[in-house]
A and B are shown apart, each in its own frame.
Chain A
Amino acid sequence: MGLELYLDLLSQPCRAVYIFAKKNDIPFELRIVDLIKGQHLSDAFAQVNPLKKVPALKDGDFTLTESVAILLYLTRKYKVPDYWYPQDLQARARVDEYLAWQHTTLRRSCLRALWHKVMFPVFLGEPVSPQTLAATLAELDVTLQLLEDKFLQNKAFLTGPHISLADLVAITELMHPVGAGCQVFEGRPKLATWRQRVEAAVGEDLFQEAHEVILKAKDFPPADPTVKQKLMPWVLAMIR
């Protein structure tokens, strides 16, 4: 059995792993784990990842979780072009720095934006107070500003003149609020042109394919009561 990737393209980190593997022609078996059906909470999936999270990678007997770990594993094992995760010490440190920073900042803001704006009210039928939504969107705003001012600045890509894992992780995160109908790139020309460069570097077709699911998030039919009951504890723990 070759490489298996357990993914749901609804999830931002899954999109980053999917795009990276496809872009670099890494052969893998795609194993869809449908989050809104609660498949990640099943006993079957717990055999793969007891933490019940996607993405997960299985390479023979070796199982790996956490998207950054997976991206770096694929980078090293398949000897992808250097720009993704440069050999140069300082260039690589910049990517490490971004990948560390984004966990508690952009990742958090983008996740909350999707869930507070769309998933709670539309999919789960749970109203979100205007204050909560406003606070989440304000936090997103601040994080986007930091992304532009501290990381992108006047560079073509987040950590230098070439695309890297940092850009891939960032763009897939930002598509979450875009999927929720938030104005992420409007009024932010620097970020908008960066997005175009990243999409061009990844390839338009692959980018569209990876984002088809999230861009339809607003149209998910409401969850039926049994599914909702199954998902609520997981959602509440995730959104904290």
Chain B
Amino acid sequence: MSLELFLDLVSQPSRAVYIFAKKNGIPLELRTVDLIKGQHKSKEFLQINSLGKLPTLKDGDFILTESSAILIYLSCKYQTPDHWYPSDLQARARVHEYLGWHADCIRGTFGVPLWVQVLGPLIGVQVPKEKVERNRTAIDQALQWLEDKFLGDRPFLAGQQVILADLMALEELMQPVALGYELFEGRPRLAAWRGRVEAFLGAELCQEAHSIILSILEQAAKKTLPTPSPEAYPAMLLRIARIP
């Protein structure tokens, strides 16, 4: 049995792993676990990953969660080109430096618009306007740091070639973009970076990976989104409550 990847392309970290695997020709059996339906909290999925989170990698009996851990594991196991996760001491440190900052300032923050505009309303929850505005400010602040500290004058986030960090960052940024936030307007450096990353990955792969999230507003408007199951509600409500 080859590797199995449990994912949902609605989710940023799922997309990062998906794109990485596809770009590097890593053989994976894809298993979609519908986040909106709440399948990640189902009894079946919890047997595989008791934390109920996506993405999850299954390599025989070895089960791994956390997208950054999965990306590093795959890059080492399949010996992907060095630029993704450089063996150079300082270059590799820069990847981890980005991932640490990303966990604090990007993750969680960039996912909020989906909860505000789509997932909250799906279960009848309205996020207060002041929280929406606070989130917008946090997004703007993070983008400034991303541009000034991590991108700077470089073509990619830590150097001359694409690294895991670029993938993680791009997929998080795509989330509010899909919800109508024009993040790249007035940010030419960031827009150019995005263009470079997408050119490297290939237009077809990007389209494939992004099509679900990019159509999310349309699906919500047409009321074609799945209905969250009762098992999913507690986690959804908790997630919404934690929006600062």
Query: Which A residues are within 8 Å of any B CB, using their own CB?
Result: 50-51, 62, 64-70, 72-73, 76-77, 89-90, 93-94, 96-97, 99-101, 103-104, 146, 149-150, 240
Given A51-B145, A69-B100: 14 more A-B contacts, CB < 8 Å:
A65-B100, A66-B100, A72-B96, A73-B93, A73-B96, A77-B89, A90-B59, A93-B62, A96-B66, A96-B68, A103-B107, A104-B108, A149-B50, A150-B51
What residue in chain B is nearest A67 (Cβ atoms)? B100
CB closest residue in chain A, given B67: A100
A and B contact pairs by CB, cutoff 8 A, 6 listed:
A68-B99, A69-B96, A69-B99, A90-B73, A99-B69, A101-B65
Given A68-B99, A89-B77, are A73 and B108 neighbors across the interface (CB < 8 Å)? no
Q: Is the CB of A68 within 8 A of B51?
A: no
Closest chain B CB from A140 CB (angstroms)? 14
Interface positions, chain B 58-91, Cβ under 8 Å from A, are: 59, 62, 64-70, 72-73, 76-77, 89-90
Contact A50/B100 with A69-B93, A76-B89, A89-B73 known, Cβ cut-off 8 Å: no
A103 touches B103 (CB 8 A): yes
User: Contact residue range for chain B?
Assistant: 20 to 34
Given A76-B92, A97-B65, answer yes or no on A65-B103 (Cβ-Cβ < 8 Å): no
Query: Is A68 a contact partner of B96 (Cβ separation < 8 A)?
Result: yes
Chain B residues near A77 (CB, 8 Å)?
Answer: 89
Question: Given A89-B76, A90-B62, A104-B107, A66–B69 Cβ distance below 8 Å?
Answer: no
Contacts from B to A (Cβ < 8 Å): 50-51, 59, 62, 64-70, 72-73, 76-77, 89-90, 92-94, 96-97, 99-101, 103-104, 107-108, 145, 149, 244
Q: Is B108 touching A64 in the complex (CB atoms < 8 A)?
A: no
Contact A93 B96 (CB under 8 A): no
Chain A, residue nearest B76 (CB): A89
Tell whether, in the assembled complex, residue A72 and residue B64 are in contact, meaning their CB atoms are under 8 Å apart. Answer: no
Residues on A with beta carbons closer than 8 Å to the beta carbon of B96: 66, 68-69, 72-73
Q: Which residue of A lies closest to B241 (CB)?
A: A135
CB contact under 8 A between A50 and B149, given known A64-B97, A69-B97, A100-B69: yes
Centre residue among B96, B99, B108 by max chain A CB count within 10 A:
B96
A51 to B68, CA, bound (A): 22
Across the interface, name the chain B residue whose C-beta is closest to A151: B51
B244 A240 Cβ-Cβ under 8 A: yes
